[in-house]
Amino acid sequence: MSGKSTQRLILGRLLLLQAGRGRLAAALAALFIGNLLLLLSVLIWWNFTVLLSGKGSGESLGSTFLVIAKKVTNDNMGKKNATIFSSADIDAVKAVPQVQEVGVITANHFPVYAMMGGNLAFATDLPLEAVPDSFLDNIPGGWGWKPGDVSLPVIVSTQFLDIYNYVFAPSQGLPQLSQSSIQAIGITLKVGGEGRGETLIAHVAGFSDRINSVMVPQSFIDYGNSRYSPTAVPALPSRLILRTADPSDTRFTDYLGQHNYTTNAQNLRWSKMRSIVTVVTTATGGIAALLLFIGTLVFVLFIELTIARARPSVVLLGQLGYSPSALSRFMLGKFIPLLSGALILSAVSAMAAQLLVASAAKERGLMLQQVPGWPVWGALLLSAAILLLLVVRAVSSAISGEKL
């Protein structure tokens, strides 16, 4: 056995002989549980934030895309242009921090008359809208139109097909239709006024779960509005489509309410869930901080008690030439690995929890990172730094005989 090993063995027997293993185990367990709960509370908050903002999969858990309009009230009902968005309104919406992109939904301001024969014969005026292609959730093949084309591709809301299949068709004794059968049907469109209109054949090219409307290519709406609109001045939009980072952010929902804008309330359903998660994570974090404080207090008291019981040995070693700093380094070399072990074990447990959560989320079509996000590691480093500082101070004070 080398001289240094013998020296360490003697120091250990003199300074750590009175250490109570039961108290040490209790202190380390409290440190582990408190730090684990702290990491888990941050983990829950971070994962929910990722799901809401869509950082993991490009779209949020709520609805990243929202269609907004100005609410129709008893006061503005019947007033001309009361529900249109001016250029200033659009610029103001673009400036909202939670809004990443704004698209104008352009409606037809020219006559469109749709007709079809056979068993499904109908004839009706047809409202059409167009949005920038980047806001479509499904761009079918052949999507586009240019002047002179006889065929016009159309995207229909899936809700419209559901209403037909489950409400209108059964009540009228009409056949229900699948998406593929709808796409095989041609619809005659008469566009423009009498004497200068044109006839097109529209076909359903795709379906949308995002926008409740009958949509056509932007080029067709622009062409029709410029050629057949009764007014020469371009009409302002009455609806906008927004791409938002987090539609459940209370600042965003408050903005919509303050400006009397309306949208599908279901798209904002996660605002309440966000509040609940915030309360849960805050409460869990508070409990974790309390347990971590208790664990740290017990660990520090254990260190002080151990050194206090070895006070005669500390005095003797000082008389033999050992400096307080050398004795402090020896004690820290014994306690810091124990502290590090508790912290590492809590970090490994948090990583295992993240793997389980990511796997469960993937089964439900949600994407989460398999490794905890940076806030978790930040919380771990912060707690480790605070604990290390307290332990170093406790050992130094106890060795020198000072009061904390």
Task: Assess whether pLDDT exceeds 90 at residue 197.
Answer: no
Which tens digit of pLDDT belongs to each residue from 109-164? 989 998 887 666 778 888 999 999 989 888 888 899 999 899 999 999 999 889 98
Cα-Cα-Cα-Cα dihedral sign, residues 159, 165, 166, 168: positive
Task: Assess whether pLDDT exceeds 80 at residue 185.
Answer: yes
Which tens digit of pLDDT belongs to each residue from 364-391? 767 778 888 888 888 888 888 888 888 7
Contacts 24+ apart (CB under 8 A), 124-129: 126/189, 126/214, 127/213, 127/214, 128/214, 128/215, 128/216, 128/220, 128/221, 129/105, 129/211, 129/213, 129/214, 129/215, 129/216, 129/221, 129/239
d(CA 254, CA 212): 24
Q: Are 107 and 235 in contact (CB under 8 A)?
A: yes
Reading the block at residue 138, the tokens are 């499904």
Would you mind telling me the total number of residues written for the chain in this entry?
404
Q: pTM of the entire structure?
A: 0.57
